[in-house]
Amino acid sequence: MRMRIGARLFDGPGPFVMGVVNATPDSFSDGGRFLERDAAVAHALRLADEGADLVDVGGESTRPGAPPVAAEEELRRVVPVIAALRARGFTLPISVDTWKARVAREALAAGADLVNDVTGLADPDMGGVVAAAGVPVVLQHMRGTFADMASRAAYGDVVAEVGAELRAALARAEAAGIPRDRVVLDPGIGFAKDARHSLELLARIGELRTPGCPLLVGPSRKSFIGKITGAPAAERLPGTLAAVTACVLAGVELVRVHDVAAARQAADVAAAIRGAARAAGPL
């Protein structure tokens, strides 16, 4: 990939690690520990120390059944965190995890460098906000709303349908004036997908490759790991690392994770194995 995100040029195959900073009181995995601005800032600094390439600050839980968050409340959660990170000279690119155009606009004004939209531009104003700011965007696949997405997990060929819907989101982005070389695509593990769908997407992730657009995958602590292993969210790091490894071996450029130090090591070793296979070449 070759994409400028904030002050940094993301150049090469990666893998690049996006660390999750939840500024939500009801997040399924972090349980509100980072609601307070200072705790979220400290968490972002720790993720940077652990080897994150960028951090993703979000103020609305997407967990099925989580209550919707009004834009005002979401702004109260994320903008002070982004502003405080910039005020203290945080050098990593900051992504804002929001589907609301207004939140994206104010987060970008406070110093965010990228918009991570799990709805793939569901808000009709989002494309214009991203295009006007000249920043990159992550378009993630989902269907329906956070409340009803589980009931929308019905596919014939999940990879083909997610691919077609991601291409439609990309077309919406381009129509709004976002050049394709500023778009990252994400299959949306767990978003309107059951465990079987998430696994098939991970197994066939290469089929989602779209010329000019890097891929991002967020498997961290997700319910498909619980479905396979029975482990609760807080005990899904080994399963997360298996998924990160599979993604990197398949050529995914960016992974979104909570446990950056562990994922950094898994991703780097998987990338080294991938590189060694290329170096060896055919016999």
| Tokens standing for residue 175 | 């129509």
Whole-number minimum distance, CB 95 to ligand HH2, in Å?
Answer: 8
Which residue numbers are catalytic?
222, 256
Q: Which residues bind ligand HH2 (CB under 6 A)?
A: 20, 22, 24, 27-29, 58, 61-63, 97, 116, 118, 138, 140, 186, 188-189, 216, 218, 256
Among residues 97 and 106, whose Cβ is nearest to ligand HH2?
97
CB of 120 to ligand HH2, least distance (A): 10
Q: Which residue's CB is nearer to ligand HH2, number 61 or number 245?
A: 61
**How far apart are the C-alpha atoms of 207 and 229, rounded to whole Å?**
27
Contact in structure between 214 and 254 (CB atoms under 8 Å): yes
> Residue 217 to residues 16, 66, 195: CA-CA distances in angstroms?
11, 22, 15
Q: Whose Cβ is closer to ligand HH2: residue 61's or residue 176's?
A: 61
Q: List the end-to-end C-alpha distance of the chain, in Å, as a whole number.
A: 28
Closest residue by beta carbon to ligand HH2 = 218
Q: Do residues 193 and 143 touch, judged by C-beta distance below 8 A?
A: no
64 upstream amide cis, omega within 30 of 0: no
* Closer residue to ligand HH2, CB minimum distance, 3 or 283: 3
